[in-house]
A = this chain, B = another copy of it.
Amino acid sequence: MGGSAEANGGGGASARVPVPPARPFLDTFRGNLKETFFPDDPFRSVVRERGAGRRTLAALRYFFPFLEWAPAYTLGAFKSDLIAGITIASLAIPQGISYAKLANLPPILGLYSSFVPPLVYALMGSSKDLAVGTVAVASLLIGSMLSSQVSPTENPALYMNLALTATFFAGVFQASLGLLRLGFIVDFLSHATIIGFMGGAATVVILQQLKGMLGLNHFTTATDIVSVMDSVFSQTHQWRWESVVLGCGFLFFLLVTRFISKRRPRLFWISAAAPLTSVILGSVLVYLTHAENHGIQVIGYLKKGLNPPSVTSLQFTPPYMMLALKTGIITGVIALAEGIAVGRSFAMYKNYNIDGNKEMIAIGTMNVVGSLTSCYLTTGPFSRSAVNYNAGCKTAMSNVIMSLAVMLTLLFLTPLFHYTPLVVLSAIIMSAMLGLIDYQGAIHLWHVDKVDFCVCLGAYLGVVFGSVEIGLVVAVAISVLRVLLFVARPRTTVLGNMPNSIIYRRLDQYAEAQTVPGVLVLRIDAPIYFTNASYLRERILRWINEEEERSKENGEMGVQYVVLDMGAVGSIDTSGTSMLDELKKILERRGIQIVLANPGSEIMKKLNSSKVLELIGHEWVFPTVGEAVASCDYVLHSHKPGAVRDSPAAHENMV
């Protein structure tokens, strides 16, 4: 370290990297706690108010956002919400019935679920565009998880009670996530995972509809493509042509309306009204032709009247409670992910803010209340919310309108659905599901990030060839594995000097970048944590070994200095500082000096308090790579006066 004084002078580094002043521990701790659990500062508006009364009002407004918009609600807004509400109701009724069938539940539960939860959401939800209702994927998941242990045909009452109990647990879990500010857990389902999982689930749901489309009576309970195809093609003699014709006809009709609305967004109402139109047309057709006697299955009797209470139906006793709990937690997370994502997307279009944790509390409460009033799991489905948005909804009042429309249906119109053919419901589900298969998104993933594409494909294949649960496990496992690999294997790259500048760039990507003899410049591209500290130590040593071998072969000077560009090292923990400590000792024994360039202030603080800064020498820390290399270079050449000064970096700084 004899050259350090010279290095100070030679590098001309007047702007040394300072160690930031220490802050009291509690300050830092409080700051970190806030950043972790309250990053969005949710109570800002409450804390800012003066006086207990105003604060209570602000807190109430925080938990019940309708208090904010209701006082200023105008007739104009009501007109918009009325149109939007009626539109989504016309979608909600057929979809509700269809998805309830998907969950092996009585169709009437689908209607119940579009009555109470939207009212709760209108009070508590902060999204203006979310339309509340049941969703296909969660319905399928409830169906497949519960029917693995309880048969919906042999024991329908128990099955329904378990579905309501699962909904209760889902709601409690969702609200707790929000209350405990753990909303970020939902973020661990990556974008790629969701595309793959949703696509797979949609495929599975479409395959399940083959039962209805072909008019089959018996069907496999498995959801994987192999079992379903086997089930379909092993009973070709059971296919009913009447059902196939009717189903394909309606599917074609629905797809054409979807296509029209996609081309002309102003004609959104064509595709929005299509499902109800299909139901009405189908019912009339069956009623007139008595097709129910010719292989066309119909919904049959639906009880008139509003939701009966279901508090006593909840099952809190073994042996089925654990099943309901498991189902509730898994479906709750899936439903939550969809609801939050949908809320955020539309908030982005209209430029307002959604508090994820608050939304979780709203969605959770709506499910808890729902489970007590015979509703099963609801969230904000994408398709219905998109229609709501396109129909010009202004506030959550459109949910109230929809709820009232469903109420009227429940009170007076249920007998009209008696003759609705199941095959029409299958066509409605199929056409809705086709929109969930985001093949363009998958292609985009392939172009941008191959790993993300593999994650997506893994989730898709897991769902289609395994089961929805297997697909979910595969997807989450791949995502978590990816996080672990992300943090365990950060990239290190060798930098070289760009000719005639003091800029250093990656050697492997810029052909014109040149190494400086005797100096190895390494860039570490991630925070240094316990998960990657020993990997980084070994990788850095390997870079040095490789460079030494290379220079030996070419007869060049061996490595004298290792400059670590810490610009991308956002933070460091004690394993990281020990790693640098060890590295310094190893390199010292080999006669190599370690030099740090561009460390952030957090890093400087940690290096200082762990005494690693002292060990390396504060004079070996530089604000830029250029200055660091220039100092090394200066020492190298002043110790070997005969050497040619060919490094542009040295020139730049010498002048």
Enumerate chain A interface residues (CB-CB to B < 8 A): 15, 20-21, 25, 28-29, 32, 35-36, 39-41, 184, 187-193, 344, 348, 351, 353, 356, 444-445, 447-452, 479, 483-491, 501, 503, 505-506, 509-510, 525-527, 529-535, 538-539, 541-542, 567-571, 573-575, 577-578, 582, 585-586, 589-590, 600-602, 606, 609-610, 623
Contacts and interface: CB of A to CB of B under 8 A. Distances in A.
Nearest to A582: B348
Contacts of A41: 542
Given A39-B538, A531-B188, A452 B623 contact: no
Nearest to A488: B184
A601 B509 contact: yes
B450 A28 contact: yes
A183 to B, nearest CB: 9
Nearest to A567: B567
Nearest to A191: B575
Nearest to A189: B530
A234 to B, nearest CB: 37
Given A187-B530, A192-B575, A531-B187, A609 B447 contact: yes
28 contacts: A39-B489, A40-B538, A40-B539, A184-B489, A184-B535, A187-B488, A187-B532, A188-B488, A188-B530, A190-B573, A191-B533, A192-B573, A192-B574, A192-B575, A344-B534, A351-B586, A444-B574, A445-B574, A448-B574, A448-B606, A448-B610, A449-B573, A483-B529, A486-B527, A486-B529, A491-B571, A525-B570, A525-B602
A452 B538 contact: no
B40 A187 contact: no
Given A450-B28, A601-B509, A491 B191 contact: no
A538 B567 CA distance: 24
Contacts of A601: 505-506, 509
A329 B501 CA distance: 55
Mostly helix, strand, loop or mixed at chain A's interface?
Answer: helix
A200 to B, nearest CB: 18
A489 B606 CA distance: 19
Contacts of A490: 570
B541 A190 contact: no
Contacts of A539: 39-40
B609 A448 contact: yes
A525 B483 contact: no
B15 A503 contact: yes
A542 B486 contact: no
A533 B589 CA distance: 43
A533 B187 contact: yes
A189 B486 CA distance: 16
A32 B450 CA distance: 11
Nearest to A345: B582
A525 to B, nearest CB: 3
Contact of A353 (B484, B510, B541): B541
B187 A450 contact: no
A333 B634 CA distance: 48
Contacts of A20: 509-510
Nearest to A579: B191
A35 B192 contact: no
A483 B569 CA distance: 16
B571 A525 contact: yes
Contacts of A192: 530, 573-575
B534 A356 contact: yes
A541 to B, nearest CB: 7
B448 A351 contact: no
A47 to B, nearest CB: 14
A16 B418 CA distance: 69
